[in-house]
Amino acid sequence: MVDNKQQWKAWLYLSPAIILLLVFTVWPIINTLRMAFLEGYSAQAEVGGATFEFGIGNFLKVIEYKKFLQCMQNTILLCVLTVPISTLLALLIAVALNSIKGLQKILQTIFFLPYVTNSIAIGMVFAAMFNIVGSFHGTENEIIQTAGIINNVIEFFGGERVNWINAGSQYWANITVMVVYIVWNALPFKILVLLGGLQSINAQYYDAAKVDGTSRSRVFARITVPLLSPMLAYVIITGFIGGFKEYTSIVGIFGETMGPPDAPGRLNTMVGFVYEALENKHQGRASAAALILFVIILIVTRLNMRFGKKSVYY
């Protein structure tokens, strides 16, 4: 222990980090709490000299708001769909990558590429793939639409063209596109973590299993997955946290309208709602929504960890 006379030195050395944390992390959190619990708070009005009463009006407004419920539904739906799908896919790809020899390095790089690519850029490419790109007038003034690659593939196999993201598209079609995009975007990090985990498993466990004539599926279920469980838990927990903060991916596909042109805001998420409220200068409402999101993430993470305690081997 440092004696008391020397303690100021310790504080001095810590001060750069502490000051930054206080300014950019601690104060915003406190301020969010303050703004959320002041009725109808608006920063602009406060600067103008207005005072606000303490109360939970912001929360009530947010919850009553139909748009917010839509945002919550979208967020939860995307989370529940994408986290299991991406985790499962990442696990399978990681196991496959781990078991091949020759092209491992190249494939690893390919699978990692999305991670280092801007997600808005990826979103635009995805949008182009699912889009009905444009239309032109054919002979006899009939309107012919050109489709993105996905619809072309569907047509090639004799299917019917689907309106994925354009005006007049269905909610489920929008969600499907979002799930494909988010899963694809989430894969690289998960593959990386799981592959690292796989490579740290002692090969003798597999030799032992081989001697005992263990089938491949049983090796996977009884040895690989349990020994990988810490990594899986990590990937799932961070996946849910990231999923609840989903925002840029929607912007990437649909732009700032957060939905098809004829139904703006249909795919908005909770973070999107917060941004929107801030844009409309309802800082109080935005803070309340942010706190609700925080509580939801806290509860889900606690549940994840409690479930994890039983099934994760460390």
Partner 1 sequence: MKVVLENLTKIFPSRNKKSNEEVIAVNNFNFEIPDGKLIGLLGPSGCGKSTTLYMLSGLQKPTSGKIYFGDDDVTELATEKRGIGLVFQNYALYPHMTVKQNILFPLQNLKGEEKMSKEEMLERAYYAAKLVQIDELMDRKPNELSGGQQQRVAIARALVKMPRILLLDEPLSNLDARLRLQTREEIRRIQKETGITTVFVTHDQEEAMSISDLIVVMKLGVVQQIGKPQEVYDNPVNLFVAKFLGTPPINVFDGKIKGGKVYIGEDAVMEVKDAADQDVIIGIRPEGFNLDENGPFHCKLENVEVMGRDVSVVSTNAASLNPVIRSIINSDNKVNTESETVRYSIKPHKMFVFNKETEERIYFEVK
Task: State the residues that interact with partner 1 by CB under 8 A.
Answer: 202, 204-205, 207-208, 210-215, 218, 222-223, 226-227, 229, 313
Closest distance between partner 1 and the C-beta of residue 163, in Å? 48
Closest distance between partner 1 and the C-beta of residue 159, in Å? 42
Q: Which is nearer to partner 1, 263 or 312 (CB)?
A: 312
Q: How far is CA 94 from CA 100, 180, 232, in A?
A: 10, 19, 12
Q: Which is nearer to partner 1, 102 or 134 (CB)?
A: 102
CA separation for the pair 150, 132 (Å, rounded): 10
Closest distance between partner 1 and the C-beta of residue 211, in Å? 5
How many residues does this entry show for the chain? Answer: 314
Q: Which is nearer to partner 1, 93 or 233 (CB)?
A: 233
Q: How far is CA 164 from CA 173, 188, 202, in A?
A: 5, 25, 46
Closest distance between partner 1 and the C-beta of residue 226, in Å? 4
Give Cβ neighbours of residue 254 (< 8 Å, ≥ 6 apart). Answer: 127, 165, 174, 260, 267
Closest distance between partner 1 and the C-beta of residue 43, in Å? 53
Q: Which is nearer to partner 1, 70 or 229 (CB)?
A: 229
Give Cβ neighbours of residue 194 (< 8 Å, ≥ 6 apart). Answer: 90, 91, 94, 228, 231, 232, 235
Q: Which is nearer to partner 1, 294 or 313 (CB)?
A: 313
Bridge-based pairing of strands 143-147 and 132-137 is antiparallel
